[in-house]
Chain A
Amino acid sequence: MTSQEEQITRIRVTYAKGPSLRFIGHLDLQRLWERLLRRSGLPIRYSQGFNPRARLNLASALPLGVVSEAELLDFWLDEAVPVGAVAKTLSQNSLPGLEIKAVQSVSLREKALQEQMAASDYEIQFYDPQPQAELAEKVAALLAAKELPRVRRKKSYDLRPLILDVEVFIRGDGELGLRMRLNAAPSATGRPDEVLEALGFSNTEYLACRTGLILEGESAPLPS
């Protein structure tokens, strides 16, 4: 390793994507991050080539319309910068709705974030109050099913193995909500809107929030 390469640092950011960014898609979000990094003035590591781009790596695309409390992103620096300073400049240069929650330095040898993804946790808030018995019944039926054949983008697949857990819970405001853990392995990712549709809800009836990303090797109970 040359001394220059020794300086390269891999930074992992945990951030929240708030309601005002709900309808900003994955590619747009990637561009927003590139700009945020440019504004931050950090010694960002760029890809080589005619049109250099900041090298960054988002763990998992968040479906359009979903907010999140815990997204993950990696980027690389050409020189070591204390993580506290990185966190500060990122926060200062961030945009409304994107909140920097944690910054850490991780090993350069780790696999790409996408490849480490194991599962995602979501919380569902219904716009209109739901009757408890009916909701609980629907959820029970869903979990009892052996197969949930569905079609997405003209491809048929089985939704059931993508659902690791679903439960009804009582939210802070006293209304019923749902918590779920869905598979997020690179080749088998479950989406909350697919689950909700299987439960009979259209995407105009609820707000979904991703509450956690679980990387492989991590084990976390579904938060309660």
Chain B
Amino acid sequence: MPSSPSTSLSSKSEALFRRVERILPTVTKPGRYVGGELNQVVKPWESVQTHVALVFPDIYDLGQSNLGIALLYDILNAQEGVAAERAFSPWLDMETALRENDIPLYSLENKRALADFDILGISLPYETLYTNFLTILNLAHLPLRSADRDDSHPLIVAGGQSVFNPEPVAPFVDAFVIGEGEEAILDVVQAHQAWRQSGGSREALLAALAAIPGVYVPSLYEVAYQADGTVASVTPSHPNAALPVQKRITAKLPPPLTHFLVPNVEVVQERVSVEIMRGCTRGCRFCHAGMVNRPIRERPLDEILATLKAGLDQTGYEEVSLLSLSSSDYSQIIPLINGLRDLLQERQVNITLPSLRIESFTEDLMDELQSLSPGGGFTLAPEAGTERLRAVINKPISDEEFMATVRSVYQHGWNSIKLYFMIGHPQETLEDVAAIAELCKAVLNEGRRIVGGRARVHAGISTFIPKPHTPFQWVGFDSLESIQQKLDILHQGLHGAKVKMTWNNPESSLLESWLARGDRRLSDVILRAWQKGARFDAWSDQFNLSHWQDAFAEVGLDPDFYSHRARGLDEMLPWDHIQAGVKKSFLKTDYLWSLQGKIRSDCRGRCYSCGILSAYNELRLVAPDGGWKCP
């Protein structure tokens, strides 16, 4: 990493920031907009060839804790000749102030207008960021549509979990990185540098990008539709455009973060986080993350502990966290917890360990966990109220097993249990819903019996949203009326019981259900909703369904077509040309199994040929130490 001879800003940046400084006293939490944190990397602007702005389309307070962005920042800044800087969504008051003063959105490091960058890397982990993404392009003074941009504009690259179905935002993005970006981003930068040197056209750049494994350049594909609105065909218009586009994965988990940036203003999750494992093989049929992040790759124990120590040294944080989809499935979980306990005692820090699975609890694990965080709450996610429905969604756990775990949790000294459930599952009946309330009460009774009046139960209710690349990608989203009825049943069922219940707004879930399985035409709805003022759709106090309903009406698309309509099993789905590793035929079989309530057990014991090994076995063989859990 070249060391900066001077941290002073170039004159161009200074002029911009002098104007920014005048508006900052007028906005809330101005510390979000100034950068200057410990371990931020500021390379002198002229000293590097390629400038990348990593953009998280929500406010700093949320985006700065995103580990994916932090990793890319680390990886890019380790490269000679490349500088990565950061930008986030301004809050509404800052958006207004920027517009009123005609100040473009700028990066936190060099305070340069985003339009001055070579590449904007946009992180889209969830669909409700799409309108904020448009705000960012607009505040950067860039044309929203890829087709309206030319080689004087930065290249807009998007990645993240939601772009496994890139189509709803395809017209706004020049290139998508499908899958894991840690290696692909370097290929993108390299292609950009080669293109700059060759002095070629923008079309040449896009074609070069399309040749990179895992990169999808939507403008190189023609989409045709049937009369009924379903997709008829997706046709590449350039020889470099792959069909399908196979997601990119890394053979082993990329190295953990080496530089931990310490925010100056308060952000969510101020702690040292390490990803201990990627992927999950439990196969819950509703779970997008579980399907698209296969295969499982584990990080070695010593690497985890070394990273946590280094992170604590660098940051001075008081908390560490382990990230994975299912931490209790980590094969070295007990030694890991032992190591954590030593760290906790030595450094006086707290530990959060999310995503524990009921099935993988042993008494041993419970003992270890209890020694780690006495008191506090314990989270379990049965997701459905009856054994029958849990078989449908492939979260097979019997009522007895579940209650045994509950008992053990209380017996080990926890007083409070949080239970996660979803309503709106395929094949769900009202009895299944009523059973959720009964289960919560049974848990509370068990708690009272064991720990007495201190026992607490909290039920967190979310709404099932069918997601692409999952066995439930064909099913319809529940109707708002039905969801409301189910919430009413829960309220009644829990009435008078001392169970706290929280739930998300069904209207927000409806928006997600449109965006998650949208096609390219839906981009017009997104654009229209944004023009009407849709912003921060992930924020319940900002989300406004009527913008979206009006947008659908004006664009002339039927919202139910995207949400409530069950897709035909032979229908061509808008994301079929994106290959997430698990084959469509596998998903289909798994969906058919769900109709029979047939369970598919964790595949670490037995491979079901989901498609991962056939597609990536070569990659696995080149990295024998990759920690793969496919047999």
Contact = CB atoms under 8 A, between A and B. Distances in A.
- Select the residue from A35, A37, A205, A207 with max chain B CB neighbours within 10 A: A35
Contact of A31 (B7, B22, B34, B266): B266
Given A21-B264, A95-B262, A28 B36 contact: no
A55 interface: no
Contacts of B265: 24-25, 28
Interface string B242-280: 000000000000000000001011100000000000000
B264 A203 contact: no
A163 to B, nearest CB: 21
Interface string B26-42: 10001101111110100
Given A39-B316, A95-B264, A96-B37, A23 B22 contact: no
A31 B316 CA distance: 10
A38 B316 contact: yes
B317 interface: yes
A43 to B, nearest CB: 12
Nearest to B266: A28
Contacts of A25: 31, 265
Given A20-B34, A20-B36, A204 B23 contact: yes
Contacts of B24: 23, 65
B25 A28 contact: no
Contacts of A21: 36, 264
Contacts of B30: 23, 64-65
Interface residues of A, number: 29
Contacts of A204: 22-23, 25-26
A48 to B, nearest CB: 12
A42 to B, nearest CB: 12
Interface string A169-199: 0000000000000000000000000000000
A22 B34 contact: yes
A36 interface: yes
A35 B262 contact: yes
B318 A38 contact: yes
Nearest to B348: A52
A46 interface: yes
Interface in A1-31: 20-25, 27-28, 31
A65 B348 contact: no
Nearest to B33: A23
A64 B21 CA distance: 12
- Select the residue from B34, B264, B314, B317 with max chain A CB neighbours within 10 A: B264
Contacts of A64: 25, 30
Contacts of A35: 262, 315-317
B150 interface: no
A24 B315 contact: no
- Select the residue from A21, A37, A38, A46 with max chain B CB neighbours within 10 A: A38
Contacts of A95: 37-38, 262, 264
B25 A203 contact: yes
A24 B318 contact: no
Interface in B297-348: 312-318, 348
Interface in B15-65: 18, 21-26, 30-31, 33-38, 40
Interface in A104-147: 127
B310 to A, nearest CB: 12
B500 to A, nearest CB: 23
A167 interface: no
Nearest to B263: A28
A168 B519 CA distance: 65
A52 B37 CA distance: 25
Contact of A96 (B18, B33, B38): B38
A79 interface: no
Contact of B36 (A36, A39, A97): A97
B25 A39 contact: no
B25 A24 contact: no
A78 interface: no
A23 B31 contact: yes
Nearest to B317: A35
A46 B34 contact: no
B211 to A, nearest CB: 41
A21 B21 CA distance: 12
A204 B26 CA distance: 7
Interface string A27-68: 110011011111100000010000010000000000011000
Contact of A127 (B22, B40, B316, B317): B22
A94 to B, nearest CB: 8
B36 A96 contact: yes
B14 to A, nearest CB: 12
A127 to B, nearest CB: 7
A32 B264 contact: yes
A24 B318 CA distance: 20
Contacts of B314: 39
Contact of A46 (B23, B40, B315, B348): B348
Contacts of A24: 31, 264-265
A208 to B, nearest CB: 10
A22 B17 CA distance: 13
Nearest to A97: B36
A21 B316 CA distance: 18
B270 to A, nearest CB: 8
Contacts of A34: 316
Interface string A86-98: 0000000101110
A59 B357 CA distance: 48
Contacts of B313: 39
Nearest to A63: B25
B7 to A, nearest CB: 8
Contacts of A127: 18, 22
B346 to A, nearest CB: 12
Contacts of A37: 316
A21 B264 CA distance: 8
A115 to B, nearest CB: 27
A142 B36 CA distance: 37
Nearest to A35: B316
A204 B20 CA distance: 10
A37 B317 CA distance: 11
Contacts of A93: 316
Contacts of B40: 96
A185 B40 CA distance: 38
A64 B315 CA distance: 24
B317 A28 contact: no
A28 B26 contact: no
Nearest to A28: B265
Contacts of B264: 21, 24, 28, 32, 95
Interface of A: 20-25, 27-28, 31-32, 34-39, 46, 52, 64-65, 93, 95-97, 127, 203-205, 207
9 contacts: A23-B24, A23-B31, A24-B265, A27-B266, A28-B31, A64-B30, A65-B25, A127-B22, A205-B22
List the 3 closest pairs (A to B, CB-CB), nearest first. Answer: A35-B316, A20-B36, A38-B316
Given A20-B36, A38-B312, A93-B316, 19 more contacts: A21-B36, A23-B31, A24-B31, A24-B264, A24-B265, A25-B31, A28-B31, A28-B265, A35-B316, A35-B317, A38-B316, A39-B314, A46-B348, A95-B37, A95-B38, A96-B7, A96-B38, A204-B22, A207-B21
